[in-house]
């Protein structure tokens, strides 16, 4: 009997904690094929490779030697090398200085 009361108390406490914690937003950002689409976030990296991303959320792509980023139809924030930048829709940045930074964090707002 004592064991079942302990179990009921534990389950009730866990349920109360879950009810008190705010729901965290799901991160739905995902990498996708670029195709001919221009509305995705597109990253040129490591020479001639490209990667595209869609949907709001945060992702840590760890793409090395980034030469260009285009925001597409998205407001984004990025951590490129040691700097954090915000980019509005339909904007683009290029690495004209040859810094070849790594894209650590991409947030699509």
Model confidence pLDDT, tens digit, residues 61-105 = 999 999 999 999 999 999 999 999 999 999 999 988 888 899 999
The domain spans of the chain are 27-108
Which position has the higher pLDDT, 12 or 35?
Answer: 35
Does 26 have pLDDT greater than 80?
A: no
> What topology does CATH give the domain 27-108?
Gamma-B Crystallin; domain 1 (2.60.20)
Report the phi/psi class of residue 36: left, alpha or beta, with left for phi > 0 and alpha for psi in -120 to 50. Answer: alpha
Mean pLDDT of 3-17: 51
What pLDDT sits at residue 8?
Answer: 59
Which position has the higher pLDDT, 45 or 95?
Answer: 45
Q: What angle do CA 31, 37, 43 make, to 5 degrees?
A: 50
**Distance set, CA 24 to CA 2, 11, 18, 57, 68 (Å):** 36, 22, 12, 11, 32
């Amino acid at each position: 009997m004592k064991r079942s009361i302990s179990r009921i108390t534990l389950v009730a406490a866990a349920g109360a904690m879950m009810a008190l914690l705010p729901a965290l937003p799901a991160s739905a950002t995902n990498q996708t094929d670029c195709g001919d689409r221009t509305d995705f976030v597109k990253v040129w990296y490591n020479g001639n490779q490209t990667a595209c991303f869609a949907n709001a959320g945060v992702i840590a792509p760890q793409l090395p030697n980034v030469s260009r980023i285009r925001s597409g139809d998205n407001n984004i924030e990025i951590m490129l090398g040691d700097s954090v930048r915000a980019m509005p829709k339909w904007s683009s940045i290029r690495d004209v200085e040859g810094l070849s930074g790594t894209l650590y964090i991409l947030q699509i707002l």
